[in-house]
Structure formats: C-alpha cells, structure tokens
A and B are shown apart, each in its own frame.
Chain A
Amino acid sequence: MLVPQEDEIEQPPYLYPDYVGTRLRAPKEPLIILPKTLSDVTGPVYGHHRPGELDNDLTRQHEGEPQGQKIIVHGRVLDGDGRPVRNTLVEIWQANAAGRYRHKVDQHPAPIDPNFSGAGRTLTDDDGYYRFVTIKPGAYPWQNHYNAWRPAHIHFSLFGRAFRSRLVTQMYFPGDPLFYQDPIFNSVRDEKARERMISTFDLDATIPEEALGFRFDIVLEGRYATPFERPHA
C-alpha cells in the first residue's frame, strides 16, 4: 500500500487553490532535496536579544487598557521527542478584539484600539514554557471567496534549535464556527494535525475575575545528530 508521507497531509502544500494567495506564489518547479548538513542543523540562537519586560503582556503596552476579553495564552515548546526547547524566541502578532490589525493595509471597517498594538514576544524558560497576556482577537472578513472570514487566530513565529526547526504557525480557539470555510486552516488536510493548531481552554490558567486561559503547546523539529565528521587536522 502506498502511504502518503506524513508531511504531505500533516503540513500544508504550497499550492492550495482554495486559498487564492497561493496561486501566484506556490513554486511550480519541484523542490530539490537538500541533504542534512551543518548549515541547517545549526540556526539562530536569539538568547542575546532579550525581549523587554512588557513584551509578553500585550495589555500593558499602552497608557490604557485595551478593549475586549483578556486572555492568557501559554504552553510549552517541545521537540518531536518531547524535550523542551529552551530559551527560544517566540514572537506573536494578532488582530484586536474587533478583528482589526493595526496595519495600514487592513481597511476592515472595525475600530482600531489605541491601547492595543497586537504584537508580543518572549523567550521560553528551561522547561520550554512561555506565557503571554493578551486580548482575544476577533474574526475578520477577507476577500478570498464570497463571505470569507478568518477564524480568530494568533500568529506565532518560533526559531527552535536550528534553521530546520523554524516555524511560523497560527493558534486557533476551540469551537470556532468558522473553521469549516477557512482555506488556510483547512490547507492542513489531516484532521488530527489541524487540531494541533487549536488551543484548549484551560481553567487552571484562568485568572478569576480577570482573564480566560488557553493552552497551546507547540512541537518543532527535534535534536540533531552531528551530520558530518570532523575534518582531520
């Protein structure tokens, strides 16, 4: 039996015509297999670039409090063997509670929140743990297809330990009614893989009278054997 490779259904393809943006951007020539070398089992170590104190709390970056529902987004960054990915940079960006990005290209007629920039970053600790305080982003319309709406999501960017573990993904919220019509979410064809992009509601992380907790664990490519022999002197 011919079993499709996991990355063909657990990762999105480059060309996914339902997502119109892929049509002119997906490469058409086949990808060339790149052997594993020192060039990609190493990668940027951004520990020297310490995020600022308020960079992981998107609700305290301005004079006033942002509008919307305050949430805690937290979890662990692990490799495929379950080991924590320590001291790695996690960057996030998102729309505000009304579903509007603070970006000149976003012309969706929802209000801009003067107290919300929608960007944060932090480093994982020794357990691979990270935590953000933010606002639950709103859904927003886009012009991909008739009546197209993006499910609420937060963009995540992670480095991991090596160039090959670099990941940009999106965290979604449980029970979102917009999943079924969203081609970006559904470009991941394996249902279980799609579920790995959905955070879980977390009562333990919920702060009474203040913020709902959501848990989002992220798995990156793993630790690597040295792919070359040391040259003889």
Chain B
Amino acid sequence: MTEEKVQKLRLTPSQTVGPYLSLGLLREDWSELVSPDHPQAIRIEGTLYDGAGDPVTDGLVEIWQAAPSGRYDHPTDDREDLPLEEGFHGFGRSGTVDGGRFSFVTLKPGPVPGPEGTTQAPHIMVAVFARGLLKQLITRIYFEDEAEANAGDPVLRSIADERMRNTLIAHREGGNLYRFDIRLQGEGQTAFFKLSE
C-alpha cells in the first residue's frame, strides 16, 4: 500500500433517503431553473417507474447542467469567454410525489468538452434518489433534436446496446416540451452510470 493510500480518508457510506425525503429536501420548489416566461425556456417532464412498472411516488430527481453557452456555473469551469445566463445556476430538484412525475423548467445546455479532445453533446446529468435506493443512481438526458451532436458524443458512442443508448434521449413532444421517463428496473430499464475514479 502506498503512503498516499494510507493517508486517504475513507468516504462516508451512502444510505437511502427513505420515504420521508420530502420533509428535508422538498421544502422549496427548485424545479424551475429559469422562469417559464424565459424566451428560451424548455420543459422536461417524466415519470419514475420501478421494476413492476409502478410509479415511484417517494423519489427525487436532481439535475445539473451547463448554460446554453456550454459553460458550467462552477469555479472549475474557467472558460470566461463563454457567457453564463444571469441567475441560471444549472441545478434543479424535483420530487416525484405527484404520481411519480417529475418536471423541470430550464434552458437547453450547450455542448461541453469531453475526454481526449472530444465534444460532448448537450446533456444534463441526473441523480435519482428514492426509498429502496441505497445510493443514488446516475443517468443523463440527451435531446432527440440534437441527432448530429449525439452521433459524435463520446458517452453515447461508448454504449453498444442501441436500446440502452436510446433510454438516454429525451423526446420532443411539440413546442418546448421534452419527455424523459426513468425506469429503475425491468425490460425498459434506463441506462445508469458508474462514475469512473
């Protein structure tokens, strides 16, 4: 074992949010990342399903994304030539107490750098929490109307299984509305990720 390993502090283990997460995590509505009146606002709606096909009504979906310029509102992203939207921070949180449904009003993110000089297609990072999930599940939302960018996206390209890949695509349902359902388990299970170290 290297010296560096010995000095590392071990991470605190994850535990489920349990069925009462709304007490602590849904006291305020953080599902609108911008005003619905914003001229570029899009709406993302979906339902969280379990392995029996039933809606999960005690879950939580969180999103994190870049601004339309492709820049993240975070000190690590120092590409100051790319503008940030005033008041847009890129984080959203929606409970699924309403029949398993979650929704966000946000802006479509721009493309962001990927590994080894690649460019990632516009996408939103998603974390799912619920009773019965001992740790969060990570997935991504891509956009149906970004076919060209999606075709070059390093993450989508790494998924050989077409069905799995397609679970990451939000479908445009007219106007500014996109649908993105999440299936935790079963035939149509959503593709979930493990973050590499």
- On chain A, the number of residues with a Cβ less than 8 Å from chain B's Cβ atoms is 82
- Interface contact B51-A24, CB-CB below 8 Å: yes
Question: Which B residues are CB-close (under 8 A) to A106?
Answer: 19-20
- For A25, give the chain B residue with the smallest CB separation: B132
- Interface contact A24-B185, CB-CB below 8 Å: yes
Partner of B133, one of A25, A78, A228: A25
Partner of B50, one of A25, A91, A170, A230: A25
| Contact indicator per residue, chain B 62-77, by CB within 8 Å of chain A (1) or not (0) | 1010100000111111
Question: Which B residues are CB-close (under 8 A) to A184?
Answer: 15-16, 134
Greatest chain B CB density within 10 A among A23, A25, A194 is at A25
- Asked if B137 is at the interface (CB within 8 A of a chain A CB), the reply is yes
Q: Main secondary structure on chain A at its contact with chain B?
A: loop
From residue 115 to 168 of chain A, which have CB atoms closer than 8 A to chain B?
117-121, 155, 157, 162-164, 166-168
Known: A12-B13, A197-B13. A93 touches B113 (CB 8 A): no
Partner of A41, one of B23, B62, B76: B76
- Asked if A39 is at the interface (CB within 8 A of a chain B CB), the reply is yes
- Interface contact A19-B134, CB-CB below 8 Å: yes
- Interface contact A37-B112, CB-CB below 8 Å: yes
- Asked if B170 is at the interface (CB within 8 A of a chain A CB), the reply is no
Known: A12-B15, A157-B25. A44 touches B90 (CB 8 A): yes
- Interface contact A42-B120, CB-CB below 8 Å: no
From residue 177 to 218 of chain A, which have CB atoms closer than 8 A to chain B?
184-185, 187-188, 192-194, 196-197, 218
- Asked if B127 is at the interface (CB within 8 A of a chain A CB), the reply is yes
Min distance, Cβ A39 to any Cβ of chain B, angstroms: 5
- Asked if A31 is at the interface (CB within 8 A of a chain B CB), the reply is yes
- Interface contact A219-B154, CB-CB below 8 Å: no
Known: A37-B120, A80-B9. A21 touches B16 (CB 8 A): yes
The contact sample of 10 A-B pairs, CB cut-off 8 A, is: A6-B10, A11-B14, A19-B16, A27-B192, A29-B191, A35-B158, A39-B125, A42-B77, A81-B7, A103-B23
Residues of A within 8 A of B (CB): 6, 10-14, 16, 19, 21-29, 31-46, 48, 78-82, 91-93, 101-103, 105-106, 117-121, 155, 157, 162-164, 166-170, 184-185, 187-188, 192-194, 196-197, 218-221, 224, 226-231
Residues of B within 8 A of A (CB): 7-25, 27, 50-52, 54, 56, 58, 62, 64, 66, 72-77, 79, 89-91, 112-115, 117, 120, 123, 125, 127, 129-138, 154-155, 158-159, 164, 184-186, 189-197
- Complex A-B, nearest 3 residue pairs according to Cβ-Cβ distance, in ascending order: A93-B24, A21-B132, A44-B91
